[in-house]
Amino acid sequence: MQPKPLALRILDIAAVVVLAVATYMALNAPLERVMGEVQKVFYFHVGTAWTALLGFILGGVFSVIYLITKNLKWDKFQVAAIEVSLVFFLITIVLGSIWARPAWNTWWTWDPRLTTAAITELIYAAYFMLRQGIDDPDRRARFGAVYALVGALSAPITFFAIRLFRTIHPVVIGGTNPEADGGFSMTPDMLSAFFFALFAFSIIFIDLFWNRIRLGDLQEKVEQLKLKISM
């Protein structure tokens, strides 16, 4: 087995460090006047959401590249991106729910963003169920890519479709929806904590993504060795 590349080891450590710093900055950022402590959830909520969406988009792009090139490397990348994103997005939803309880007085509402988030989670959960049911690696990659593509196209359409109704989700960055509930403006300290959280989660995402790709390589090797033994 090859040892972990040095760059990846460094990135592992960096990921832990930036997470700690981001936590410290979020906890020390000024309190928001109306919502108080619970607003701190926001830094990590947006951080995980941004990286999760990035991963889903990457998954869609990799699936197109795979379908064109038929190189299994892209399939590994796609699985890695979607798997990490699935976890991050779940964290986003849970954090959002924790925030929504005091801010909106409910754990959940059928707002476009929330509904689309739930459906997106279900799409990618289905993606892994599909992959699990197929043994042949080529076919698994082809079906996975096709489904990831269909899912990546369908999620924005779902969002748009539900958006035909009104939304109460606040748009903190560059948005003024008079009906949004729980919006606020940020002080410079809050902004720096916010941008650092985005940066931290990007690093963590890259680290996990890389580790997952490496895991995919190792999995492939194990499968080949098993085949060799059985022959």
Q: Which residues bind another protein (CB under 8 A)?
A: 67, 119, 122-123, 126, 129-130, 132-135, 139, 142-143, 145-147, 149-151, 153-154, 157-158, 160-162, 164
**Tokens representing residue 22 in the block:** 């981001």
Query: With respect to another protein, which residue has the nearer C-beta, 146 or 186?
Result: 146
Separation CA 76–CA 127 (nearest Å): 14
Give whole-number Cα distances, 119 to 29, 110, 124, 168, 170, in Å: 33, 11, 9, 18, 20
CB of 161 to another protein, least distance (A): 5
Separation CA 209–CA 77 (nearest Å): 8
CB of 91 to another protein, least distance (A): 20
**What angle (nearest 5°) sits at the alpha carbon of residue 193, between those of residues 120 and 116?**
10
Instruction: Report yes or no: 124 and 144 within 8 Å, Cβ to Cβ.
Output: no
Query: With respect to another protein, which residue has the nearer C-beta, 38 or 67?
Result: 67
CB of 55 to another protein, least distance (A): 18
Separation CA 99–CA 39 (nearest Å): 7
Separation of first and last alpha carbons in the chain: 22
**Tokens representing residue 30 in the block:** 């000024």
Query: With respect to another protein, which residue has the nearer C-beta, 141 or 204?
Result: 141
CB of 230 to another protein, least distance (A): 20
Query: With respect to another protein, which residue has the nearer C-beta, 20 or 153?
Result: 153
CB of 58 to another protein, least distance (A): 19
Query: With respect to another protein, which residue has the nearer C-beta, 30 or 156?
Result: 156
CB of 156 to another protein, least distance (A): 10
CB of 125 to another protein, least distance (A): 8
Query: With respect to another protein, which residue has the nearer C-beta, 112 or 170?
Result: 112
Query: With respect to another protein, which residue has the nearer C-beta, 74 or 147?
Result: 147
